[in-house]
Amino acid sequence: MSDISFGRARRHVLGLGCERGTLPAEVLALAIAALDAAGIAAAELAAIASIESRRHEPAILAVAAHFSVPVVFFDAPRLEEETPRLKNPSAKVFARVGCHGVAEAAALAAAGPDAELAVAKIKSAHATAAVARSGLQKA
């Protein structure tokens, strides 16, 4: 959470997962859909979060640049710690990347221990997104 600045206006983290090489337009459209589903404006977004193996993925970096927010990455063991809080844990995802979810887990991990999912995982053809709301109330 060190790169994330939470406040009253920016309390949400967008978790993203995608297949390698997913087009930025697809991930951005999914990100916008997730924010719409949460009923939040882009100005309420504090950060983007994902799994470490996507640190250099152009689509995820493009979404962070689009919203002008930092992007944070977590390794699979850290994301696996979030499994009890996931709405949609997946054995298939665990078999592929070593944790039971990327989008939901990354959003929760970045938003903190008191965070809750504002939007559970939604999917496009090649990506996933979820939104977590930080429990922090400080300005």
Q: Which domain holds residue 122?
A: 20-126
Model confidence band, residue 138 (pLDDT cutoffs 50, 70, 90): very low
User: When comparing pLDDT for 3 and 130, which is higher?
Assistant: 130
Burial group, residue 12, by CB count within 10 angstroms (0-12, 13-18, 19+): buried
What pLDDT is stored for residue 139 in this prediction? 36
Model confidence band, residue 10 (pLDDT cutoffs 50, 70, 90): confident
What pLDDT is stored for residue 136 in this prediction? 63
7 within domain boundaries? no
105 within domain boundaries? yes
37 within domain boundaries? yes
pTM of the model: 0.91
Are 76 and 82 in contact by the 8 Å Cβ rule? The answer is no
Q: Is residue 6's pLDDT more than 80?
A: no
CATH (domain of 79): 3.30.420.180
What pLDDT is stored for residue 4 in this prediction? 73
Model confidence band, residue 135 (pLDDT cutoffs 50, 70, 90): confident
Residues near 22 by Cβ (< 8 Å), separated by ≥ 6? 57, 59, 126, 127
80 within domain boundaries? yes
30 within domain boundaries? yes
**Lowest model confidence (mean pLDDT) among 8-17, 27-36, 43-52, 89-98:** 8-17
How many domains, in total, are found in the chain?
1
